Amino acid sequence: MSKVSLLGAGSWGTALAIVLANNGHDVTLWSAIESEIDMLKTYREHKDRLPGAILPDNILVTSDLEEACKDKEVIVFSVASPYVRSTAKMCKNLIPEGQIIVNVGKGIEETTLMTLSEILNEELPQAEITVLSGPSHAEEVSRGIPTTVVVGAKKKKTAEFLQATFMNNVFRVYISPDIVGIELGGSLKNVIALAAGMVDGLGFGDNTKAALMTRGIAEITRLGIAMGGKMETLAGLSGIGDLIVTCTSQHSRNHNAGELMGQGMSMEDAMKEVKQVVEGVYSAKAAKLLAEKCNVSMPIIEAVNQVLFEGKSAKEATAELLTRGRVAEYPDLEWTE
């Protein structure tokens, strides 16, 4: 069994800690938030985010970053995307050469347009950076409800090691060399999920949301391929799989925030109401800038940005999307006549 540490004790970090502990690993769960540490130590439960999910005895809870980083086979970065860089800077001198790091956050840094693994490679060049993503809401994973995810790594040997570390009979893990595709699928689906929530908030139906999700994955795929990702990845667990669950689940903070905006609430008020980091808000502007940089058409992403940052109503943005010029679904397909 391995010594595994998770940096970030929010819902996803806590859920993965439970998975890893149930697999028999020696698990350390770290947070910089003292009140969170006190709660987890006192109740062995994240009462705010994962009520009812009890931490197994083989999880050590700590606020000591050195303790969390020392002598670990695997370190999981489970902090929210806006805090990945600052957390990496904090532990830079604690990370040894060749340390395996698994990023499980999802996002794109607005100021640099870097993915989270790119940030970690920049801040922790001595480490081996990998990713894990897929349809995996923490509320279900922590309760042992079955799902499947994908691990991305440069080295197949590392991917297989992580597959064996995380996988069990209710948490199936696939492997892939396509880190770029995995990260972009996981990040951009949050922006589409905001739009799906807006559709529900406006009172539209299943047809509307299915159409939005389908055209959303088309946009994600266009940008993903332009940035070096693979179509197969974006049609897989971290693309379509994660998009489906995030656009439709009651557990999705992005969908829930979008729904409030569709009902007329401002972005700021919606984020306060959800009471968690809404990753799609942070990724939306970066996604728009990446689309412009790569000369890729992403009208849904553009519309979400208009609602978030330009004061346009969700109803108006939807109307403009539906009345754009006539186009083919896939322009590259050839006509026989």
Q: In this predicted structure, what is the pLDDT of residue 313?
A: 95
Q: What is the pTM of this model?
A: 0.94
136/246 Cα distance (integer angstroms): 9
Domains, in order of start, for the chain: 3-177 (3.40.50.720), 180-322 (1.10.1040.10)
List, for residues 91-104, the tens digit of each pLDDT value: 999 999 999 999 99
Q: In this predicted structure, what is the pLDDT of residue 276?
A: 79
117/129 Cα distance (integer angstroms): 6
Confidence of residue 279 (pLDDT cuts 50, 70, 90): confident
Please compute the mean of the pLDDT values over residues 21-37 and round it to a whole number. 97
User: What is the phi/psi pair of residue 124, to 5°?
Assistant: -130, 65
List, for residues 127-174, the tens digit of each pLDDT value: 999 999 999 999 999 999 999 999 999 999 999 999 999 999 999 999
List, for residues 289-327, the tens digit of each pLDDT value: 999 999 999 999 999 999 999 999 999 999 999 999 999
| CA angle centred on 38, ends 33 and 44, rounded to 5° | 115
Task: Please choose, from the candidates 170, 174, 34, 12, the residue with its C-alpha nearest in 3D space to the C-alpha of residue 103.
Answer: 12
Active site residues: 189
Q: In this predicted structure, what is the pLDDT of residue 271?
A: 87
246, 193 contact by CB (below 8 A):
yes
